[in-house]
């Protein structure tokens, strides 16, 4: 792992001298001279930055749509925009194992770095149902993810999203203090929308006694914490490997004991295994969004509401 990290850093450092100045004006990564130029790692953070920054920011995403953020390994051209960006926003907690090396490689002394998960109320992986058992079966994950102690999927909880939005707002204010009031007003408005959705579904879920879901991988701990839902998962927190036969038997038993009629699967996390489980227990497979890509063409809030509605209806 150390050798791989060093190799990535060296490759990026050399390649930036060749590509950093070739960012053209006809693509998403093109720098705007009149706006704060923001680079983000993946889609959910792009939407948060755009919600806060409004028409005063230009946002470019590094991880392409349709690519699993856990496994993404950037090439120099993927990161060229960082050399001219004003702000770089990434999730942290091991989601972007390449981020720190990329920051060092671009040598952008004016770059303001925002780790969106800083200061948030994090979930220890050991507290996630069945997660300790999963981790014992995927030992290589300890080498790949430096912050394996915490669930990285903060943006998938509404309170987690609020923490990330506030951090992004602070970064934009640092980059562009003249428009502080504008960013703060936009942040307040977006956080209000998050909280309205939170309260709406807390009221709905409060009427349901048995709140248990089974997901494709253990990415929804923060969402479940928001609403007092118990999560079981087909795959571990990093969507790596596949469950053993013994784990599948346990999941089948759990689904039957808790009358689980829906298995929630993400497009990028082994839907075939989820379908196998569903077939065993007579359940249906339903799509759930992770917001890492712009699935279904909807906004973050639209997809989050769709997630919550589907979970609610499954009960």
286 and 191 fall within a common domain: no
**pLDDT at residue 165 above 80?**
yes
Which of 175, 195, 215 finishes a domain? Answer: 195
Adjacency order of strands within the sheet including 112-115: 57-61, 36-40, 87-90, 112-115
Per the model's pLDDT, the better-predicted residue between 246 and 184 turns out to be 184
CA atoms within 13 A on the CB side of 182: 14
pLDDT digits (tens, 9 = 90+) for 112-151: 999 999 999 999 987 654 443 443 333 444 444 444 589 9
pLDDT digits (tens, 9 = 90+) for 206-249: 999 989 999 988 899 999 999 999 999 888 787 666 778 888 89
250 and 151 fall within a common domain: no
Question: Is residue 137 situated within a structural domain?
Answer: no
Distance CA 237, CA 225 (A): 15
Question: Percentage of the chain with pLDDT > 70?
Answer: 81
224 and 185 fall within a common domain: no
Phi, psi of 265 (to 5 degrees): -120, 140
Mean pLDDT in residue range 271-287: 88
Helices 271-281 & 245-257, crossing angle to 10 degrees?
Answer: 50
Q: 275 near 223, Cβ under 8 Å?
A: no
Question: Is residue 133 situated within a structural domain?
Answer: no
Which has the closest alpha carbon to 92: 157, 152, 171? 152
pLDDT digits (tens, 9 = 90+) for 64-74: 988 878 778 88
Distance CA 288, CA 216 (A): 9
For residue 23, the model assigns a pLDDT of 43
Structural domain range at position 237: 203-314
pLDDT digits (tens, 9 = 90+) for 43-72: 999 999 999 999 999 999 999 988 878 778
Which of 14-28, 158-172, 238-252 ranks highest by mean pLDDT? 158-172
For residue 125, the model assigns a pLDDT of 85
**pLDDT at residue 4 above 60?**
no
For residue 294, the model assigns a pLDDT of 86
Q: 99 near 73, Cβ under 8 Å?
A: no
174 and 308 fall within a common domain: no
Give CA separation, 91 vs 80, 155, 194, 286, 308, in Å.
19, 8, 18, 27, 22
161 and 269 fall within a common domain: no
Tokens of residue 78, six digits: 């993927």
pLDDT digits (tens, 9 = 90+) for 243-277: 788 888 999 999 999 889 999 988 766 677 888 89
238-88-162 Cα angle (round to 5) = 65
154 and 207 fall within a common domain: no
| CA 185 centroid distance within chain | 24
Give CA separation, 128 vs 123, 191, 234, in Å.
8, 26, 13
3-state secondary structure at position 120: coil
Which of 195, 217, 232 finishes a domain? Answer: 195
162 and 213 fall within a common domain: no
Give the CATH number for residue 263: 3.40.50.1980
Q: How many domains does the chain have?
A: 2
165 and 18 fall within a common domain: yes
How much is the pTM?
0.86
Q: 90 near 79, Cβ under 8 Å?
A: no
């Amino acid at each position: 792992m150390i050798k791989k990290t060093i190799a990535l850093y060296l490759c990026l450092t050399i390649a930036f001298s060749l590509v950093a100045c070739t960012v053209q004006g006809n693509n998403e990564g093109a720098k705007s001279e009149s706006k704060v130029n923001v680079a983000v790692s993946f889609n959910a953070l792009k939407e948060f930055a755009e919600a806060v920054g409004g028409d005063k920011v230009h946002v470019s995403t590094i991880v392409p749509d349709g690519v699993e953020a856990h496994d993404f390994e950037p090439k120099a051209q993927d990161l060229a925009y960082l050399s001219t960006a004003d702000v770089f926003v990434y999730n942290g907690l091991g989601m972007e194992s390449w981020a720190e090396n990329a920051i060092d490689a671009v040598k952008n002394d004016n770059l303001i770095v925002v780790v969106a998960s800083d200061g948030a109320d994090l979930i220890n992986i050991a507290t996630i149902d069945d997660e300790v058992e999963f981790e014992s079966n995927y030992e290589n994950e300890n080498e790949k993810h430096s912050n394996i102690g915490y669930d990285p999927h903060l943006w998938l909880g509404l309170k987690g999203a609020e923490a990330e939005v506030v951090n992004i707002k602070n970064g934009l204010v640092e980059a562009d203090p003249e428009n502080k009031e504008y960013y703060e007003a936009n942040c307040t408005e977006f956080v209000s929308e998050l909280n309205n959705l939170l309260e709406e579904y807390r009221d709905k879920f409060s009427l349901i006694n048995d709140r248990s879901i089974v997901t494709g991988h253990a990415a929804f701990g923060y969402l479940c914490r928001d609403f007092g839902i118990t999560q079981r998962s087909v795959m571990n927190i990093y969507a790596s490997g596949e469950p053993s036969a013994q784990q599948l038997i346990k999941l089948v038993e759990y689904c039957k004991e808790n009358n689980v009629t829906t298995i929630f699967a993400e497009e990028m996390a082994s839907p075939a295994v989820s379908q196998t489980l569903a077939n065993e227990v007579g359940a249906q497979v339903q799509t759930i969004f992770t917001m890492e890509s712009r699935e279904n063409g909807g906004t973050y809030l639209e997809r989050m509401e769709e997630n919550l509605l589907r979970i609610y209806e499954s009960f």
